[in-house]
């Protein structure tokens, strides 16, 4: 069975601090996909990034970066120089080989509060 664990439930930082959100997954599939979604206080779920199991290249997009390590089954997300607008709940999710065309298994989410 697939499982996603976000051990941190809540983090509070001061603006401009860097923050890393941890995600550990379990799957028996050899091909799988990992996702991060953001849920701001307004409630919608916003897609941030998708990675497949064959692509361990880490990615940087502006202030966001992702670190995918198959050896430790981790897909961590870092926000550099955090801003108040980054305050949200962040979800890590996992699917099988059909990617976004099949069920996503979500972690419990991690609430990030960025204080001015």
Partner 1 sequence: DAGVIQSPRHEVTEMGQEVTLRCKPISGHNSLFWYRQTMMRGLELLIYFNNNVPIDDSGMPEDRFSAKMPNASFSTLKIQPSEPRDSAVYFCASSRYSGDTDTQYFGPGTRLTVL
Is residue 65 at the binding interface for partner 1, with CB under 8 A as the rule? Answer: no
Residue whose CB is less far from partner 1, 15 or 40: 40
Q: Binding of partner 1 at residue 108 (CB under 8 A)?
A: yes
94 close to 28: Cβ distance less than 8 angstroms? no
Q: Which residue has the tokens 């997300």?
A: 77
What span, in angstroms and rounded, lies between the C-alpha atoms of 32 and 28?
9
Q: Which of 12, 20, 98, 115 binds partner 1 (CB under 8 A)?
A: 98
CA dist 116 and 113 (Å) reads 10
CB of 34 to partner 1, least distance (A): 12
Alpha-carbon distance 87 to 96, whole Å? 29
Does residue 7 interact with partner 1 by CB under 8 A? no
Pick one of 7, 14, 45, 60: the residue that binds partner 1 (CB under 8 A). 45
Query: Counting contacts by CB under 8 A, is residue 73 touching partner 1?
Result: no
Three-state secondary-structure class, residue 116: coil
């Amino acid at each position: 069975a697939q499982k996603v664990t976000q051990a941190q439930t809540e983090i509070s930082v001061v603006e401009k601090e860097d923050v890393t959100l941890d995600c550990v997954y379990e799957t028996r599939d050899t091909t799988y996909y990992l996702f991060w979604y953001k849920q701001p206080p307004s409630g919608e779920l916003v897609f941030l990034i998708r990675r497949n199991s064959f692509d361990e290249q880490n990615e940087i997009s502006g202030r966001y970066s992702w670190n995918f390590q198959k050896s430790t089954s981790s897909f961590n997300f870092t926000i550099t120089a955090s801003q108040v607008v980054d305050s949200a709940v962040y979800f890590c999710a996992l699917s099988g080989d059909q990617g976004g065309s099949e069920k996503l298994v979500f972690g419990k989410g991690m609430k990030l509060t960025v204080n001015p």
